[in-house]
A and B are shown apart, each in its own frame.
Chain A
């Protein structure tokens, strides 16, 4: 894991990307109990061409030069496949901007705030994403008001209502 984070930090140091943040289950494990995942999701503002096209090649080339092995859509460092994800929508772009700096075993990195992890999970909308949001509530790891504010900005309030109706969450009265 440290190797992956060092490689991501090196991308910034080398000017390949400007900013990144860890999302998905690995970031969620910063706040709640660990759940199995087989990859690390790194969300980043990718470089663009003069015509505005997103450029993935410079990122993959830089990661390969840092010891990563490209396997399909992943770049593997040791036992961890790294998935590069872009700031594809306004919610993800905001999540990257608002991410918090933390340390992983001495390596500085950035992780999404809990309300953004939940909002992105609600936007993605798979069963495992719903369960992750439920876990955030069960473990008091997300503030309802902060999550609602994010959801409101991105038109996702109804997704939370669906979760509240599906699962015994302590948020039904607040909705």
Chain B
């Protein structure tokens, strides 16, 4: 893999950040609120999956203990 000079890497990162910021700022309020709603939906799924996994692990540990 080709080596990248640190200053090139920094310049690339700055350009990437600037373009991401421009993209995000161009979004309307409605689009941004919709993205919050999606984040919340994903968080809910993740929380439920975690809860289910913990319950399964607890059940497995309990049955081992018996």
Residues on A facing B (Cβ under 8 Å): 1, 25-26, 29-30, 32-38, 79-80, 102, 104-105, 139
Chain A residues whose C-beta falls within 8 Å of the C-beta of B14 in the assembled complex = none
Contact for A79 among B27, B29, B35, B40, CB less than 8 A: B40
Let me know if A36 and B43 touch, CB within 8 A: yes
The 8 nearest A-B residue pairs measured at CB:
A34-B32, A29-B32, A33-B24, A36-B39, A30-B29, A105-B30, A34-B35, A34-B36
**For the complex, would chain A's binding face be called helix, strand, loop or mixed by DSSP majority?**
loop
Q: How many residues of B contact A (CB 8 A)?
A: 15
Residues on B facing A (Cβ under 8 Å): 21, 24-25, 27, 29-30, 32-33, 35-37, 39-41, 43
Chain A residues whose C-beta falls within 8 Å of the C-beta of B37 in the assembled complex = 1, 79-80
Chain B residues whose C-beta falls within 8 Å of the C-beta of A139 in the assembled complex = 21, 25
